[in-house]
Amino acid sequence: MRANSENSSWIVRTKRLTQALIVSGTLNVSLLGTFFYFVIKDKNDSLSIELKPLATETKLPTASNLETLRSYSVLSYQQLLLCLEKPDFIEQGIKKRDLALSCLVAFHHFNLDKALGGIPLQKRSILLSQEKGSEIIEVPVFPGLADYQFQAIVHFAKTEKWPFTSQGLFYELKRSTPPYHSSLINAFSLTSEYHSVYMLFSKTGISYSTNQLIDLLCEGEWMDLTNFSLSQRVALDLSMERCRSFLLAYLEKRSKTAALLLLESSPEFCLQQLEDRHILLFFDLFNHSPYLLKNLSKGLLSSPRTDAVWQLAAQALGHSQIPTKKVEKPEIKKPLYKTYKVQAGDNLWKIARTHKVSIKEIMQINQLETDKIRPGRCLQIPLR
């Protein structure tokens, strides 16, 4: 009986051990299977990343220099300043910031020379037209500028009150309404174009204010001013005749300031030398201020002018009818002064002795502060 009991106990233990081994083996196989599964999955994932086709990569921009320039040409001044900080290449060695600078110079008259201290720059050009058949514009490009130079340009643009060329300052004044900003007037008064006109008016003794001179220039065009400045550089002419010619050119462009300066400085010239078309311009410009033409109108009614001029002169004086007879020989007042151009070797003593007048008279009439005179200057000499 005891032997049978021991055999039964051993059989039970054997069964339990066998079951434990089976469970352990099953768990080991499951763990190994799980391990190999994740190893194979990670390997497949890495292969899929490595073998991604090039088609899914980010494409480089394909815009050309001309296309970029065309899009930049319509941007505002502030927008172009932001584009100065874009160093991205476009093509042919040109960067976005290069074309932004080109548009600032070409369309906004940015003063690049002043921003970089006047150093020599490489200059190329791109022909730009917005649409087929439209005007072709030659836009300057400045390749090869370094990072520090662009930093200087940006700094100048952000710190300078008026970072523009003479032409840009002129257009800023034309866009402004009086009274003009004092700093803008100061900036423009330093330009060679303004100085050429200032010198002419100062030397001829015409009374004017700075704002009046600015108004006069703004009533013309930039080409009028720059052409006059260039001609004065070639042949410096500071005579009264040159000043009258300058004012007459602006009068023909319907400048009210030019008309007023002519009336105030040269009333006899206006009456005797101006054509009827110029006289008609006076009446048109001062249509609402006929009192300014009172003295001129009196002289016109005693001169052999056309009926159109007589009619307007009579209206300015409040007359209902024009004179029935024209004066054939109007009375011409004898001029009080004659003009003398200073020659080399002249001095006030010699001129006064030649024309039999005193030095003091010559200095008072011509507003001379010293007895030093420069050859080529025109002096008013009283007639005896």
pLDDT mean over 239-257: 95
Say what the pLDDT of residue 325 is.
Answer: 52
DSSP 110: B
The two structure tokens encoding residue 121: 């720059």
**% the chain with pLDDT above 70:** 82
Query: Cis peptide before 304, with omega less than 30 degrees from 0?
Result: no
pLDDT, tens digit, 9 for 90 and up, residues 294-304:
999 999 999 99
Residue 176 lies in a domain: no
Residue 337 has pLDDT above 90, yes or no: no
Residues 317, 341 within the same domain: no
Q: How confident is the model at residue 138 (pLDDT cuts 50, 70, 90)?
A: very high
Which of 19-33, 34-48, 247-261 is the least confident region?
34-48
CA distances from 73 to 107, 110, 372 (A): 7, 14, 54
How many structural domains compose the chain? 4
Give a yes or no: residue 60 inside a domain: no
Name the residue with higher pLDDT: 316 or 22. 316
At residue 49, the pLDDT reads 43
Lowest-pLDDT range, 73-82, 147-156, 229-238, 336-345?
A: 336-345
Residues 156 and 69 reside in one and the same domain? yes
Specify the higher pLDDT residue, 366 or 43.
366
Give the mean pLDDT of 365-381: 79
Range of the domain at 287: 266-332
User: Does 89 fall in a domain?
Assistant: yes
pLDDT digits (tens, 9 = 90+) for 174-218: 999 888 999 999 999 999 999 999 999 999 988 889 999 999 999
Q: For residue 299, is it within any domain?
A: yes
User: Tens digit of pLDDT for each residue in 84-106?
Assistant: 999 999 999 999 999 999 999 99
Q: Answer with the residue of higher pLDDT: 370 or 212.
A: 212
Output b/e per residue, 359-379; b: 16+ Cβ within 10 A: eeebbebbeeeeeebeeeebb
192 inside domain: no
| pLDDT at res. 41 | 63
What's the predicted TM-score (pTM) here? Answer: 0.68
Asked whether residue 72 falls in the same domain as residue 156, the answer is yes
CA gap 92, 89 in Å, rounded: 8
Q: Is residue 204 part of a domain?
A: no
Residue at which a domain ends, from 332, 348, 365? 332
Residues 25 and 71 in one domain: no
Q: How far is CA 147 from CA 85, 154, 308, in A?
A: 9, 11, 67
Domain annotation covers residue 187 = no
Task: Work out the angle between the directed axes of helices 192-204 and 210-218 (0-180°, nearest 10).
Answer: 120
Closest C-alpha among 236, 290, 296, 251 to residue 269: 296
Residue 190 is assigned to a structural domain of this protein: no
